[in-house]
Amino acid sequence: MRKTISVDVIIPTYNGLPWLKETIKSVLAQSHKDLVVYVIDDGSTDKTEEYIKSIKDRRVQYHKKKNGGQSTARNLGIKISKSPYVTLIDSDDVWYQDKIQKQLDVLEEHKDYGMVYGLHKLINEQDEEIGEVTYSRSGDLYHYLLGGNRISGSASMVMIRRSVLDEVGLFHEDFLIGEDWEMWLRIAKNYKIYCIPEFLAGLRVRDNGMQQNYDKMARGLEYMLPIMLDEFKPGPRGRARLKGTIYFDTTLDWFMAGDVDKARKNFRKLLFINPLRIERNIDYRRLYLRLLFGGRWHFVIRKKLGLVKDKTPYGENK
């Protein structure tokens, strides 16, 4: 008889109802049953505590802390959990039934891999599939990841060995965005990473989610760039790759936030440090022309990029 292996599931949440209910339901329905589920409540003011304490499954543990951000909640979960494998899931995402078992089988078979991820669907607030993310590289991914968060874009898709986290440390708690990307880079610098080329989860895109907060994303990326350069100390090629990634993303984020001056400043940095990072499709070329030469093209470009709906005023989220 095969010995079961315990897996820790860490769910950070802040006023996560009603999505949290679907998340926990998908976790408890996993085909791999040897789980310990740590719900880390980051100071919620809704009925999260009441709901969690109503769950009769003994595998679910509830811990409430003072509000400090998602990374602080994840880190607390990592610190208090004990199983040899650690998984994380945001409190509005869902796992497909065999997600944990398939990832566990990979790490048990491939001892030289420190982390495993997979493909995922994008779902909206009505649980409808609206897209998919299919990054599928395996192996030595450090240089590849300097070019962006191409693991999954979310911590909900990974399983990590406890021993790896003991070595590389916890998530950056001061980052506004990208703390998962920085963590994957730390892991990739020392370990191989495996991708299961199957859809293992549904990641929710919400109208009021972080994806719409362009100002915060731009500021967060600009904050983390010098920290990552100092931490990883990449060579000339790696520096250009990392800087080009962040300058490209902040160019678009500042433009979407309505600050064309900052968008133009970052675009000029991109032109100087890594012009190969510039997208070549015609819609992005319109954006670049607007940033280089000015003109009243805001709405036209945003609509072309699919970033606004018809009759939406400039600067308003879709």
Domain assignment present for 310: no
28-80 per-position pLDDT tens digit: 999 999 999 999 999 999 999 999 999 999 999 999 999 999 999 999 999 99
200 and 265 in a single domain? The answer is no
Pairing mode of beta strands 94-95, 85-88: unpaired
pTM: predicted TM-score of the whole model, two decimal places: 0.88
Answer with the residue of higher pLDDT: 283 or 195.
Answer: 195
206 and 224 in a single domain? The answer is no
**In Å, how far from its chain's centre is CA 7?**
21
Q: Are 160 and 83 spatial neighbours (Cβ–Cβ below 8 Å)?
A: no
Domain assignment present for 309: no
Here the tokens at position 12 are: 């950070």
Domain that holds residue 12: 7-210
188 and 90 in a single domain? The answer is yes
32 and 138 in a single domain? The answer is yes
CA–CA gap between residue 256 and residue 271 (Å, rounded): 19
| Domain of residue 24, CATH code | 3.90.550.10
48 and 65 in a single domain? The answer is yes
Q: Are 257 and 316 spatial neighbours (Cβ–Cβ below 8 Å)?
A: no
227-273 per-position pLDDT tens digit: 999 999 999 999 999 999 999 999 999 988 889 899 999 999 999 99
217 and 206 in a single domain? The answer is no
Domain assignment present for 317: no
Share of the chain above pLDDT 70, in %: 89
Q: Which residues touch 182 (CB under 8 Å, ≥6 apart)? A: 171, 172, 175, 224, 228, 231
Domain assignment present for 312: no
Q: Residue 294 has what pLDDT?
A: 66
The conformation of residue 51, written as its DSSP 8-state character, comes to H
Domain assignment present for 292: yes
170 and 222 in a single domain? The answer is no
Here the tokens at position 198 are: 């199957």
CA–CA gap between residue 294 and residue 168 (Å, rounded): 45
